[in-house]
Structure 1
Amino acid sequence: MTTLAHDHVRPTRTPRLSGPVWLVWRQHRAAYWTLVGLTLVGVLAMVVLRGQMTDYLNTSAPASGALPPDFEKYSGRLTRVGGCLTYLPVLAGVFLGAPLFAGDLESGTAKLVTSQSVGRLRWLTTKLTLTAALITLSTAALSLTFAWWWSPIKGRDDTLEWTSGVFFDGTGPVPVAYALLTFTLGAAIGLLLRRTLVSMAVTLGVVVALGLVWDRFRLNLGHVLTLSSDQGIGPDAAQPELPAQAIQQGQGTSFLTDSGARLDWTTCLNGTDSDRARTACLESKHVIGYTMDYLPVTQMHTMQWLGTGIMLAGTAAAVLFVVEWGRRRLL
């Protein structure tokens, strides 16, 4: 007795979403596909722009390795696109986080879903996890591509400071952590206010305030170093020279006395005094040279990871709040 070959063939099953994951994806598929589409467009655009920049550098860069004098067009593109990427946390918080639970609570979908076989905790964690995973993948793809675009001229263009929000917040782990923080804050606000438009407006205000605080204290994550000279003052005296890509901190170069004290650069500055009179005044105060504070570029990654840790701690706190509040007071 022969056995037909097709009797042994078992149909293969392709992986498909099911259960709460399928429900969440179907419910937010418009936002998810928009996020995926924008990510692909952004990555492709940066790949093309980087190719144009490197082609120009290969054909026009001087033999010394310096950038061409008319390179501003390409560096301008870099900073403009990087500036657009700084709005990712706003988009994540306002358009993905705030409506995540507020929309379901406002429409009554939450009551319908949790009255079925899906428990509150599973519904909460599924919506948070799936959306956070897409935000992480999209933000990481954009951040890595932007850093790859910046890499050929990093350190070669003094106008592209690594401490600026464009590069500090647009590369490394910071964009992912920042977007996750604003997303979870928006989700928590939506869970509390239960109204979509109100939650989006409040989230926008919170994210803007958070951005202002971050911009104000971001550089405090670094360890400020000091350069000093003790070769006297005056036009012929050598001033400290900053290392490459170092960013000067404080109010600029100040004066150093023989006791190690600092005097502000406005010391002995008077509109009616000559340079000779000012020099004599400074010498009477035992000034022996100059001093300045700076942040070296070698601290960039350490500062980024420290900021990432702070943001992830805030994200964890927001997630914990969402889970606990949702389990007890969801409906």
Structure 2
Amino acid sequence: MTTTAHLGANGSGPAASDPDEAGEPGGRGPLRGLAWLVWRQHRLFFGLLLAAVVGGAVWCAVLRSRAGEFIASHHIEGCSMISLVPRCDGTQEAVTEFRGTYGQPLQLAEMGLMLLPVLIGVFLAAPLIAREMEAGTHKLVLSQSVGPLRWLAAKTAVPALVVLAATTVLSAVFAWMWAVVGDEVSGAYWYSTLDFAALGPVPVAYSLLALAVGVLAGLLLRRTVLTMGVTLSAMVALQGGLKLLRPYLMPVVSTEFGPKESAQLPDNAWGVGQGYHTRSGAHLPDTVCQSAGNYEGCLRSHDVVGQYMDSHPASHHWPLAWIESGIVLALTAVLTVIAFRVMRRRYG
């Protein structure tokens, strides 16, 4: 088999090797051939990702331990600033102190996991193929016995496995920490933008999507900086769009309140709508009498007998997370198939 030249890890300088003999001496072990070359080319980012996993795990472990001790010593588990739970009476000062001490470190962990897919897309996925196309080194691959589809498979499979492992560990460690410090006591509820994006399968799915977006954009645009910008824009748009879709992924639970009842949901319920309900059971928006001169008369004319609130209870968290992650992974699969079809159409 002839020799294929590849750029080094920093994009400057060739690193020539035979794909089937690339493991000499570095190819000894589980990685050989193309897989070893891909690992070598992107070992810097993989190393940074590993460091992020270790650092994130330590951060979450320390935060869990210290925050857990505070919660236990002040007896504020499940208490919020304004709570309906009788045992939480008189704990407002302790909850305020807890949030002032541990709120910011918790938000940093949440932001890290929410931004991780974007960082993976911009700094790993975007240059993955675009740099090869821009430098012209992909032409060398096409002249070898290593086919373009096999090359693309290796270029995407190794990063995908690393990203899958790293984000799974980070998400699991964060969930382990969040089980102690999340929800009412910290004010970091499961449905908030940061928490939902950091919990369970969501960051894992979005990280794989970012990889697929960057690879496809690189194949189509063939310019590294341009691909990075497009990947960033695409991931922001996709995350924002699915956030808007999130409340509608499952039917809401509608709770009706009588005329003398206080319309208030449990602390961990995600309220997504409210209004008035009539004697016949019809629901009216809360703006129906907003501009009426006689507000009470307007309500009587509509036969309003109370208020209603639509919400997703805490039990909807994991179903919503898995549904959204399923949508994201389906989109990832579609983009990956398109990338291979583009590669086949252009290079055979």
Same fold (TM over 0.5): yes
Aligned pairs for 1:60-209 (under 5 A) are 60-61=74-75, 64=87, 68-69=94-95, 70-72=97-99, 73-157=101-185, 159-209=187-237
Q: 1:269 and 1:121, CA in 2 relative to 1: closer, same or farther beyond 3 A?
A: closer
Instruction: Specify the SS of the correspondent of 2:191.
Output: coil
Q: Distance in 2 between matches of 1:37 and 1:244?
A: 36
Alpha-carbon distance change, 218 to 49 in structure 1, aligned in 2, over 3 angstroms: same
Q: Which amino acid aligns with 1:222?
A: M
Q: Aligned partner of 1:124: which letter?
A: L
Alpha-carbon distance change, 285 to 122 in structure 1, aligned in 2, over 3 angstroms: closer
For 2:262, the equivalent position in structure 1 comes to 239
Q: Structure 1 residue 240: deviation in Å? A: 4.2
User: Residue 9 of structure 1 corresponds to which residue in structure 2?
Assistant: none
- Separation in structure 2 between the aligned mates of residue 60 and residue 291 of structure 1, nearest angstrom: 35
Q: 1:311 to 1:62 in 2, by over 3 A?
A: closer
Please say which of residues 114-123 and 98-107 is displaced more in the overlay: 114-123
Shift of 1:158: 7.0
Give the deviation of 1:121 after TM superposition. Answer: 1.6
Note if 1:55 corresponds to 2:82: no
Q: Give the one of 241, 244, 248 matched to 2:271.
A: 248
* Alignment correspondent of 1:292: 309
Q: Give the superposition deviation at 1:330.
A: 4.1
Q: Which residue of 2 aligns with 1:5?
A: none
- Any conservation in 1 of the 2:56–2:109 contact (CA below 8 Å)? no
Question: Judging changes above 3 Å, is the alpha-carbon distance between structure 1 residues 194 and 62 closer, same or farther for their aligned structure 2 residues?
Answer: closer
Bigger Cα displacement from structure 2, 207-216 vs 178-187: 207-216
Q: Distance in 2 between matches of 1:107 and 1:308?
A: 35
**Ranges in structure 2 where 5+ consecutive residues have no aligned partner:** 1-26, 78-86
- 1:7 corresponds to which residue? none
Distance in 2 (CA, whole Å) between partners of 1:138 and 1:283 is: 59
Shift of 1:266: 3.9
Q: CA RMSD in A?
A: 2.3
Amino acid at match of 2:139: K
Match of 2:198, SS state, is coil
1:291 maps to a residue whose letter is Y
Alignment match, 1:258: 279
Q: Aligned partners of 2:199 and 2:158: how far apart in 1?
A: 23
Contact 2:118 2:235 in 1 (8 A): yes
The alpha-carbon deviation at position 14 of structure 1 amounts to 6.6
| Matched residue type, 1:242 | L
Q: Percent same amino acid at aligned positions?
A: 37
Does the alignment pair 1:217 with 2:251?
Answer: no
Alignment-mate amino acid for residue 98 of structure 2: F
In structure 2, the CA distance between the partners of 1:114 and 1:44, relative to structure 1 (3 Å rule), is farther
Where 1:256 maps in the other structure, the secondary structure is strand
Task: Name the larger-Rg structure.
Answer: 1
Give the TM-score normalised by structure 1.
0.85
Once the two structures are TM-superposed, the CA of residue 269 in structure 1 deviates from its matched residue by 4.7
Q: Give the 3 Å change call, closer, same or farther, for CA 62–41 of structure 1 in structure 2.
A: closer
The whole-number CA distance in structure 2 between the counterparts of 1:281 and 1:27 is 70
Measured after TM superposition, the shift of residue 26 of structure 1 is: 1.2
Higher relative contact order (CA 8 A, sep 6+): 1
| Residues 242 and 324, structure 2, Cα contact 8 Å, conserved in 1 | no
Paired amino acid for 2:198: G
Q: 1:119: Cα distance to partner?
A: 1.8
Matched to 2:151, the amino acid is W
Q: 1:269 to 1:328 in 2, by over 3 A?
A: closer
Question: How many angstroms apart in 2 are the aligned matches of 1:79 and 1:146?
Answer: 11
After superposition, what is the alpha-carbon deviation per residue over 1:198-224, rounded to whole angstroms, capped at 9, x for unaligned?
Answer: 111111111121122122112221221
Q: Distance in 1 between matches of 2:54 and 2:262?
A: 49
Structure 1's 29 and 271: CA in aligned 2 closer, same or farther, altered over 3 A?
Answer: same
**Matched letter for residue 265 of structure 2:** L
1:62 CA displacement: 5.0
2:290 and 2:223 map into 1 onto residues whose CA distance is 59
SS at match of 1:292: strand
In the TM superposition, residue 265 of structure 1 has moved relative to its aligned partner by 2.9
Kindly state the Cα deviation for residue 272 of structure 1 after the two structures are TM-superposed.
6.6
The residue number in structure 1 matching 2:328 is 311
